Chains A and B, each alone.
Chain A
Amino acid sequence: MSLEAYGWLILLCPLAGTVLIGLTSQILPQKVHGAIGTLAIFGSFLSAVGGLFALQDLPKEERQVVAVAWDYLKTSGVDAELSLLLDPLSIFMALTVAGVSTLIHVYSLGYMASDRGYSRFFAYLNFFVFSMLLLVLAGNFVLLIVGWAFVGAASYMLISFWYRRRTATEAGIKAFVINVVGDIGLVLGTYFIFKHVGTLDFLKTFERVPQEFSRNDGDLVAGCLLLLVGAFAKSAQIPFHTWLPDAMEGPTPVSALIHAATMVTAGVYLIARMHPLFEQAPAAADVGAIVGCATLLVAATIGLVVTDLKRVIAYSTMSQIGYMVMAVSSAAYSAGLFHLMTHAFFKALLFMAAGSVIAAMAGNQNLDRMGGFRKVMPFTFGCMIVGGLALSGFPGLSGFFSKDEILSLIAARGDWHVVLAALGFVGSLMTAVYTFRMIFRAFYGDMVPEAKELADGHLHHPAVPTNPVSGEEEDYEVGFPGPDHHIAEHTLSMKVAMGSLAVLAIVGGLLQVPKVSHVLHDFLAPTFEASRFYEGLEPTDSLTYLAMALGGALALLGIFIAYTLWVKQPERPASIRDRLGAPHRLFVNKWYFDELIDTVIVRPFAWFGRFARNTFERIFVNGALVGGTTVGVRAGSAAVRAAQSGFLRSYAALLLVGVVVVGIYFLVVAR
């Protein structure tokens, strides 16, 4: 089959899956829907693999294929087509997305087994994968925006999946609103660029950008900054990040798939895809790099103090995406995308392991209530350790190679980028600390009642199911998956998914070992052939070794600190907390970003809304516009009604007068 056919097949499989599950939701049994959903995504993954081989068969300079199905709109000036751009970058993203999604579907088969919304879950999940693949395969801005918005909608549906939970629906709305702000940024940014290049097609745009725009052209910088708004909102970068921690209200597989592995990396993909624009507008790229760096630090500090298991991982996700955004904005494209891939592996693994722990806790996510699960959940513990080591950058695992490559490449840019790299190393120390804080608190220490129950051979089930966040009572129709919980130790499908991801998290780094292999770098080269930095940006040998040594040492140091604080001397964290009251309060309150946004945006808007309703609507619209019209019509109709006297002879008189007037008028005019 041709590359184009594979491209369409990648998209069609999940679309067919979601339609099929939706149409047969009342006909086929639930188990079949799970199988359909998983097979559809697996088919998509196989197509992506086929596409990879078809792409590699082409000569190197022809590895950017545009597949056009039909034109939406083709007039003078606008060329919107249903077109896919199949190049190494999009195939790489499709492989990562479809591959991780397949494993997460397999995991969900077990994890969601007793949820009442099982079929709905798989339909949504397939729709999400379809949207994400549309986003990464899109060959023009229009299709990119469509995929971008679909992904936001899918995220909303999945965060609010347990729709009778007030906290979940509120989190879904928050995520959707912030994502729409990003969508608007993306659309406006597209307009700024389209106005000058006159085409929506990616490849043609990239060709024309260097001719149409001078370096740091005002319109291009504005367009790129607006694109960055879209990327920041989707990728949870400051100041658009507040939705991601709240999004943890969704089921754990959703957190693993959307809010760790795929959707939140869309911003990274966007910046990498638009690299010809950002290289022509370095001012915008610098903003991206600085915001990425700020996000990685802020998120890491919050991760140090959060007590919700999934939120720790969520902040860690924000932090890692900060690394990626910083990388692709600093022209370290292959390193950023490499980290995107390895992060997808180990972060999905961490979420899955967290899901298993949460199942053992019967839905409770509070780290304060956990402890001692090491003995009773050995498989989950092992996966958590592998994921945690990979995330911390333990030497030899995937995260080690990807993160250090990012930092050494950024340092190689010189100037103030060195500062960013140094801050990145600070962040990697914090990464190791918060990751192992989470692991030590959940798995070490005294056994909590839930762990003891598990040691006795059965899972904890609460007498009355409650919302773990608000404590409200719930029924089994809603909330944590149904009456039965599933932990990895007892469920084959969860074991398979977590085991595969653990292997990938360990060996994934071998794709890009400094001085040894650069598979990904070479593979992605055709996409970045026009880039000024792609081949030229190369850290010196000493810098490479320094970064590796420093990264490894910081990871070990961080793990050691966490071990000392939370295993050896469990009373120490409390005294440190007391000594550092002010920063601790700042971190626990998430740097007051929610409050800031509330004061600066939400409240003025709410005030304006009240003003519009009470003053504008009531006085101007209701009083002047509607009331004025009513008064006018009423007065006019009263005058007309007065003429309708019922006297036949007055009608006749009016008629005559009218005829006479018309006659006189024409006589006068005819003169």
Chain B
Amino acid sequence: MSMEWYLVVSAFVFCIGAGGILVRRNPLVILLCLELMLNAANLALVTFARAHGNQDGQIFAIIVMVVAACEVTIGLGLIVALYRRRLPIDVDELRELQG
């Protein structure tokens, strides 16, 4: 199977994630969409690693997974904190950091 299909799937998944971030307001869903984007990137990295015939891309993919795990930890923690303080679970309502 040629490489292009993997890249097409990767781009497709990335766009779904990006679109989800732009249109959804629930922080939990935004986190899920972020995860989609990261995994799309991982797929692309692994594909390129295969294309180049070395392991660099695979190692990158593992590092991205580590980063993703951290990000999810912090993101979920924030959401739990929001829930406990009875704040609205809606990113459009949480805009106190405006300039």
Nearest A residue to B24 via CB reads A649
Residue pair B94, A648 in contact (C-beta under 8 Å): yes
Given the known A-B contacts A643-B99, A645-B98, are A656 and B91 also in contact in the complex, defined by CB atoms under 8 Å? no
Q: Is A646 in contact with B98, judged by CB distance below 8 angstroms?
A: yes
Q: Please give the distance in Å from A37's CB to the nearest CB on chain B.
A: 69
Indicate with 1 or 0, residue by residue over B66-99, a CB within 8 angstroms of chain A CB atoms: 0000000000000000000000000110111111
**In the complex, what residues of B have CB within 8 A of residue A649's CB?**
21-23, 25, 91-92
Judged by a CB distance under 8 angstroms, whether B64 is at the interface is no
Inter-subunit contact A644/B22 (CB<8 Å): no
In the complex, what residues of A have CB within 8 A of residue B91's CB?
Answer: 647-649
* B92-A641 in contact (CB<8A): no
The verdict on A669 contacting chain B, using a C-beta distance below 8 Å, is: no
Give the complex CA separation of A378 and B96 in angstroms.
96
The answer to whether B22 and A646 touch across the interface, beta carbons within 8 angstroms, is no
B18 at the interface (CB under 8 A from A): yes
Does A640 count as interface, using CB distance less than 8 angstroms?
yes
Q: Contact at B99–A644, with CB atoms within 8 Å?
A: yes
Residues of B contacting A647 in the complex (Cβ-Cβ under 8 angstroms): 91-92, 95, 98
Interchain CB contact under 8 A, A656 and B94: no
- The complex places the Cα of A643 from the Cα of B99 at a distance, in Å, of 8
A window 634-671: CB within 8 A of B: 640-649, 652-653, 656
Out of A643, A646, A656, name the residue touching B95 (CB < 8 Å): A646
Q: How far is the CA of A199 from the CA of B81 in the complex (A)?
A: 80
Q: How large is the interface on B (under 10, 10 to 19, 20 to 34, 35 or more residues)?
A: 10 to 19
Q: How far does the Cβ of B24 sit from chain A's closest Cβ, in whole Å?
A: 8
Give the chain B neighbours of A642 by CB distance below 8 A: 99
* Minimum CB–CB distance for B28 against chain A, Å: 13
A656 near B99 with CB under 8 A, answer no
Q: Is the CB of A646 within 8 A of B21?
A: no
Interface residue count on the A side (C-beta < 8 Å) = 13
**Once bound together, how far apart are the Cα atoms of A670 and B69, in whole Å?**
34
Q: Which residues of A have CB within 8 Å of B22?
A: 649, 652-653, 656
Q: Which of B18, B94, B97, B99 has the most CB of A within 10 A?
A: B99
Mostly, the A contact residues are: helix
B57 to chain A, nearest CB (A): 19
* A642 to B97 alpha-carbon distance, docked (Å): 12
Whether the pair A646, B18 counts as a contact (CB closer than 8 A) is no
Residue on A nearest B19 in the bound complex, by CB: A656
Distance, CA A645 to CA B95, complexed state (A): 8
- In the complex the two chains form, what is the Cα distance from A645 to B25 in whole Å? 16
Chain B residues near A656: list those with CB within 8 A.
18, 22
Interface pair B21/A652, CB less than 8 Å apart: yes
A637 and chain B: residue at smallest CB distance: B99
CA distance A646 to B22 in the complex (A): 14
Cα distance A644–B94 in the bound complex, in angstroms: 13
Q: B99 near A641 (CB under 8 angstroms)?
A: yes
Shortest Cβ distance from residue B78 to the other chain A in the assembled complex, whole angstroms: 12
Interchain nearest-CB distance for A404 vs B (Å)? 90
CA A465 to CA B89, docked complex, whole Å:
87
CA of A646 to CA of B94 in the docked complex: distance in angstroms?
8
Nearest chain A CB to B41's CB is how many angstroms away? Answer: 12
Nearest A residue to B27 via CB reads A648
Cα A645 to Cα B98 in complex, Å, equals 5
User: A648 vs B29: C-alpha distance in the bound complex, in angstroms?
Assistant: 13
What is the distance, in angstroms, from B79's C-beta to the closest C-beta of chain A? 13
Contacts of B18 in A (CB 8 A): 656
Least CB distance, A414 to chain B, in whole angstroms: 89
A643, A645, A649 interface centre (most CB from chain B within 10 Å): A649
Name the B residues within 8 Å of A652 (CB-CB).
21-22
Contacts of A653 in B (CB 8 A): 22
Asked whether A640 lies within 8 Å of B99 as measured between CB atoms, the reply is yes
Contacts of B96 on A, CB cut-off 8 Å?
646
Question: How far is B95's CA from A643's CA once the two chains are assembled, in angstroms?
Answer: 13
Cβ–Cβ < 8 Å partners of A640 in chain B: 99
User: Chain A nearest CB: distance from B73 CB in Å?
Assistant: 19
* Chain B positions 31 through 56: 1 when the CB is less than 8 Å from some CB of chain A, otherwise 0: 00000000000000000000000000
Which residues from chain A contact B95 at a C-beta distance below 8 Å? 645-648
CB neighbours of B94 from chain A (8 A): 648
- Asked if A644 and B98 sit within 8 Å, CB to CB, the answer is yes
CB distance from B99 to the nearest CB of A (A): 3
The closest CB in chain B to the CB of A652 belongs to B21
Separation of A646 and B98 alpha carbons in the complex (Å): 4
Residues in chain A near residue B30, CB distance under 8 A: 648
**Closest A-chain residue to B18, C-beta based?**
A656
Most buried by B among A641, A652, A656: A652
Separation in Å of the B72 CB from the closest CB of chain A? 17
A640 to B18, CA, bound (A): 25
| Shortest Cβ distance from residue B29 to the other chain A in the assembled complex, whole angstroms | 12
- Across the interface, B97 reaches (CB within 8 A) one of A641, A643, A646, namely A646
CB distance from A650 to the nearest CB of B (A): 9
Which residues of A have CB within 8 Å of B92?
647-649
Query: A370 to chain B: closest CB distance in Å?
Result: 82
Considering the chains assembled together, what is the distance between the CA atoms of A647 and B91 in angstroms? 7
Tell me the minimal C-beta distance from A372 to chain B in angstroms.
90
List B residues at the A interface (Cβ < 8 Å). 18, 21-23, 25, 30, 91-92, 94-99
Could you list 20 further interchain pairs (A-B, Cβ under 8 angstroms) beyond the known A649-B21, A649-B91? A641-B99, A643-B99, A644-B97, A644-B99, A645-B95, A645-B98, A645-B99, A646-B95, A646-B96, A646-B97, A646-B99, A647-B92, A647-B98, A648-B92, A649-B22, A649-B23, A649-B25, A649-B92, A656-B18, A656-B22
9 tightest Cβ-Cβ pairs between the two chains A and B: A644-B99, A646-B98, A646-B95, A641-B99, A648-B91, A652-B21, A646-B97, A645-B98, A644-B98
A-B contact pairs, 5 of them (CB 8 A): A640-B99, A643-B99, A649-B21, A649-B23, A652-B22
